[in-house]
Structure 1
Amino acid sequence: MSTTAESTRPTFDRGRAVTKSLLGWGVVAGPFYLVVGATQALLVPGFDLSQHALSLLLLGPLGWIQAANLVLSGLMVLAAAVGFARLLPAPRGTWAAVLLGVYGVSLFAAALFPPDPMHGFPVGSADATAASTSGLLHLVAGAVGFLSLAVAAVVVGGWFRREDRPGLAAASWIAAAVVVLGFVGGGALSTTSAGVGLLWLAVVAGWAWLAVASLAAYRMAPRPDC
């Protein structure tokens, strides 16, 4: 009797459980980053969401909070990257992991190299007349990160299409285009409110895609208890 009961009991696959757990961090990363950033934006004196990108919070009186926000979000992205590598077949899974990994590392670099003062922030500081080394490296980190995230969306979108998820595939490809165009347009118009708005669009679109794609992948991943 006991032998029969044990044979019909579902087995628990730890590997599958780990994959789902890693993908779950991709769902959390974006909301975490945006909520922490937006909370600072509302509390830090002189910060204006219509004029300032969140990265400028690195220069404020609570800059260490934004640095920690970037680092923790980057760690979550790296966890999600491993989850995609475990779920997606090679070589697509490898490419998705590498590209998301580069994005995660770019967040570390953005925290390490803060931008130059802009639009009167921090309060009392003069706008930089020439880009500093740190400011340039911050821009490079952003460019590499946004491009990597966009290409990752294209790669994962291709997987969604192969898995007969056309809606998710289309959303991934649209998100990739929005991220690239938003970042390029925002960079070109960085001294205007429109440029800041485009950068915000790129940031939100990128994080939203990662959350939706990670949630979809989480649901598509095999259950650990069967």
Structure 2
Amino acid sequence: MPHTLSALPHPAPTAPASRRGRTALVGGMAAGPLFLGAAIVQSFARDGFDFGRNAISQLALGESGWVQTVNFSLAGALLIAGAAGLRRVVGGDAGGTWGPVLVGVFGISFWAAAAFPADAGAGFPVGAPGTTVMSGHGAAHMAAGMVGYLALCAAFVVLSRPLATRGHRSWAVASRLVPVAVLVGFMASAASVLAFTAGAGLGLLWLTAVTARLAMPPAPPRAA
């Protein structure tokens, strides 16, 4: 009998992969808070910037715009690392293939946003006209953001499946509702830039929450 037991496969070799996956998930957890925190700090340091009329993307303009460009680039790298971590952790679950891919697309959109800056307007940088004239790079920036956030919203819906199968039912329901709130914020952007910023911020912070939840062990089964 001891010889039979010793011949059984040992689970230890899979543990390092799981640890690597959870380490990579730190990127997905950190990306949103770091990106938003850096933007808030810049908003106080940049003359003329106002969240009530200016988008976060416009912080990449002007003399100190390189700070926001780095912020976009770093957030993109962290999101892609987080997507790789998600693939390791939930790859075998329902939705475990497309969820990480969609988060990766979201990360790539941040790199595109860094490469193609937004247009000046609404008085920022100081001296910019009140109205925005769409340029080629401005259109590319908007397209990257649209594709990225649509991918993120789809990722939330897809990741609700591994959340549910791991016993996190309320999280799964919320993960289907948050995309609605994000998209409502975007649709209200014509009337309020702040609504757009709130929707974008909600998406980033919910990704942090979902990633952290999936990094934890599955919930124990409920007693019958």
Q: Hey, what does 2:85 align to over in structure 1? A: 83
Q: Which moved more, 1:91-100 or 1:117-126?
A: 91-100
1:84 Cα deviation (Å)?
1.1
SS at structure 1 position matched to 2:97: helix
Say whether 1:154 aligns with 2:157.
Answer: yes
Please list, as runs of the form range in 1=range in 2, the aligned pairs for 1:139-218 lying within 5 A after superposition.
Answer: 139-186=142-189, 189=190, 192=191, 195-218=192-215
Rounded Cα–Cα distance in structure 1 between residues aligned with 2:214 and 2:132:
46
In the other structure, the counterpart of 1:5 is none
2: CA distance, partners of 1:19 / 1:134: 35
8 Å contact from structure 2 (residues 106, 151) kept in 1:
yes
Which stretches in structure 1 are left out of the alignment for 5+ residues?
Answer: 1-9, 222-226
Secondary structure in 2 matching 1:93: coil
- 1:154-210 deviation digits (Å, cap 9, x = unpaired): 001122122221111122112111122212321xx1xx4xx2121112111111111
Indicate the RMSD between aligned Cα atoms, in angstroms: 1.8
Sequence identity percentage? 33
**1:121-159: CA deviations, max 9, x gaps?**
110122455311011001101100110000000001122
Gaps of at least 5 residues in structure 2 are 1-10, 219-224
Q: What is the identity, as a one-letter code, of the residue corresponding to 1:219?
A: M
1:49-80 deviation digits (Å, cap 9, x = unpaired): 21111101011321110000011011110011
Tell me the TM-score normalised to structure 2 length: 0.86
- Measured in 1, the distance between the counterparts of 2:117 and 2:132 equals 16
Amino acid at match of 2:73: V
Structure 2 residue corresponding to 1:56, chosen from 37, 58, 62:
58
**Superposition pairs for residues 97-108 of structure 1, below 5 Å?**
97-108=100-111
Residues 157 and 176, structure 2, Cα contact 8 Å, conserved in 1: yes
Alignment: residue pair count: 206
The 4+ residue runs of structure 1 with deviation greater than 3 A are: 127-130
Structure 1 counterpart of 2:87, which letter? Answer: A
2:29 aligned with 1:32: no
Per-residue displacement from partner, 1:56-113 (whole Å, max 9, x unpaired)? 1011321110000011011110011111111212662220111011100000111111
Three-state SS of the structure 1 residue aligned to 2:96 is helix
Q: Does the 8 Å contact 2:183/2:199 carry over to 1? A: yes
- Pick 1 or 2: higher relative contact order, CA cutoff 8 A, min separation 6: 1
What letter corresponds to residue 75 of structure 1 in structure 2? A
Paired residue type of 1:106: S
